[in-house]
Chains A and B, each alone.
Chain A
Amino acid sequence: MEEVSWKRLHPASIWVNVLPLTWRYLAAFWPLLVIALFGGGMGLGLVDLFLMLGTVGAGAASSLVHYATLRYRVEGGKLEIRKGLLHREFRSIDPERIQNLERVRNPIHKLAGLVEVRLETAGDVKTEGLLSALSEEAASELIGAIDLARRQMVPEEEPQENELLTQGVLELVGYGLSSGKPGLVLVMVLGAIEFGEMLAMRDHQAPSWVSDALQVRADDPLQFAAALLGLVLLAVVISWMGSAFFSLVRHFSFRLVRTQEGLYTEEGLITRRHVEIPTRKVQVVMAFEPLMRRLMGYGTVYVETAGLGVVVGGARRAEAVIPMVERERLGAVCHQVLPLVDENPWSTPLLPPHRNALYRAVVAWLIQWVPMVGLLVFFYWPWGLLGLCILPVGILGAWLDFRFQGWRVEGEAVVSRRGFWKRRTWLMARDKVQSVHLEQGPLMRRYGLGRLHILVADGEVFLPDLAWDRANDLLERLRPLSAEEE
């Protein structure tokens, strides 16, 4: 059999990759650069210049080496990638192990007419940036070859596509508005003010304009409360506007399409992202319905496979996010993503947790918060008495959480629901279970309860608190069937 020749990246990858690779060096050495550029007030000295040029030069050199040494091909049913000059690397990927395929086009790719192909396998976190600049034809050819290796047959006809969902601008703005984090923004605003004050004090200057604007008399509680309320409102508005904007940029022109193999999503204004997910690789589907989104009549669906993607700041859990799904369609969309699971927890009532779960939740909450409230009252008397309001609010929260929890294990389907303010519903197929853990703390033992924790590849599902015997019985039943049992 004739050996398949190695292919290389597009020559334009040399300049396409310079910026991301330089950015990678900047991210790695940023403390050094900050110290060099801003430390000591000496301006851009020789050392600073050397550091800057060195960083850009290293990025350019890496890009050149990346282009010169990276080769790929699909040979013998495997995708093979080799690269490296001094440190040589050879990677052979079984297409069956690929969890999802992405085509990514950032603005530089668009300018050069190129595309990056990202592959994610279970547990592999280093695929990003490898096949970083291919022509559209080369990318299609590669994905076609991988598909062919997956199926081991040439498709006789064009695959059928069925568009399941699109998102309009208003829906995406609604998604952004309901995912703002006012608390975080408020903390950041307060932190910035504090930082400004510290700088002003260090330089023996008058308080900053921020402080001037918010200057209130400490002995006037009304003025103080009004200023605090103003800050909270400002934080909420900033948070909403920011998240609506970022939601639009990230999910612009979103499409969810069903194909013969599975699903793909397309989205993005600046960087266009195309993610293919074979449905047999889906581990868990989670529908997220925070209160505000629920009031709008929508929920968000997260699709998790065993592939861990890397994003700035950590690992990305969900491979695909379907931002806004109408409540009536949540069950149908989840069924499209997980065909094995035909339970619809939005139309069929779920089983409740054990009634003692409420007592346990309330007692656990009190154990956690009563000492905190006690300290608050002790140190901030008499204002600390306001902390007592936390107790009934917490008890109400525990009751609401308990009231809306639910679960069901039926045939292949495992369904769990928790939370009132941030309601989450997990759906998974029993044949994805990796291990099952039954947990019981002292309080749970007092109330005769047990909690099941189900692990799948790179994901997990908790069932609500159940009677100990029932939880034990489920521990036995949740095991996936062996080949003989099937």
Chain B
Amino acid sequence: MELQKLNPRVVWLWRFQGLVRVLMFWAPVSVGIGIGLSQVMPGFLAGVIAAGFWFFQLLLAILWPGLAYRYFGYLIREQDLLVQRGVFFRRRTSIPHNRIQHVDTRQGPFEQLLGLSRVLVFTASGMAADGSLPGVGHELAETIRDDLSARGGDDGV
């Protein structure tokens, strides 16, 4: 079973998003860790640990997207949409076409810049999307959305 890959540009999208997180969230957290540790150990050592922690987050933001891309795949089959994701914690999801309530496409600013879209597939199981395809070329995303929306059936509720 050969799964479809996402658009390779999604790796850059995830790196952008990761770098924003590293700057806006992990940088202040690392400073906090450094200040906290400096109360119980020499300041230099606390600084090195905090900087190391921040550098580790930076490395993750750069390297992780490549791995996530490698393990992400999807396939629109005759009866369902199959989505597979996860590097350490793998998850394979089957969403039957006849259970789909609605399909959304969304584009954030970075996605617009890279010409990508997210496809979110909702069933009656709850408020969150049951399946999502995070980095699909915009035109392909619209085709997938229209294709999946048109296949509705008994919602099982």
Contact = CB atoms under 8 A, between A and B. Distances in A.
Instruction: Tell me whether A and B are bound partners.
Output: yes
A440 interface: yes
Interface stretch (A81-89, A131-139, A149-157, A472-480): A472-480
Contact of A479 (B79, B90, B125, B157): B79
A475 B77 CA distance: 14
B157 A306 contact: yes
B99 interface: yes
B88 A435 contact: no
Contact of A434 (B91, B99, B153): B99
A431 interface: yes
A contact face: mostly helix, strand, loop, or mixed: mixed
A440 B84 CA distance: 11
Q: B123, B125, B126 — which one has the most chain A CB atoms within 10 A of its CB?
A: B125
Interface string B58-96: 000000000000000000000110000000111111111
B126 to A, nearest CB: 7
Contact of A483 (B93, B125, B154): B154
B99 A433 contact: yes
Interface residues of A, number: 35
Nearest to B123: A434
B156 A455 contact: no
B92 A437 contact: yes
A456 B125 contact: yes
Given A433-B156, A434-B123, A482 B97 contact: yes
A40 interface: no
Interface string A174-192: 0000000000000000000
Given A306-B157, A435-B130, A482 B96 contact: yes
B23 interface: no
Nearest to B78: A482
Please tell me the size bucket of the interface on B. 20 to 34
Contacts of B123: 434-435, 455, 457
A479 B126 contact: no
B91 A437 contact: yes
A435 B131 contact: yes
Contacts of B91: 437-440
Interface string A407-440: 0000000000000000000000001111111111
Given A281-B157, A432-B156, A479-B80, A458 B125 contact: yes
A455 B130 contact: yes
A459 B92 CA distance: 19
Interface string A445-478: 1000000000111111000000000001001101
Nearest to B95: A435
A314 interface: no
Contacts of A436: 93-94
Contacts of B93: 435-438
Interface string B110-145: 000000000000011111001100000000000000
21 contacts: A122-B124, A123-B127, A281-B157, A283-B157, A433-B156, A435-B93, A435-B94, A435-B96, A435-B131, A437-B91, A439-B91, A441-B90, A442-B88, A442-B89, A457-B155, A457-B157, A475-B92, A476-B94, A479-B79, A480-B98, A482-B98
Interface of A: 97, 99, 122-123, 281, 283, 306, 431-442, 445, 455-460, 472, 475-476, 478-480, 482-483, 485
Closest 9 pairs (CB-CB, A-B): A455-B125, A434-B125, A434-B123, A457-B124, A435-B130, A438-B92, A435-B95, A440-B90, A457-B157
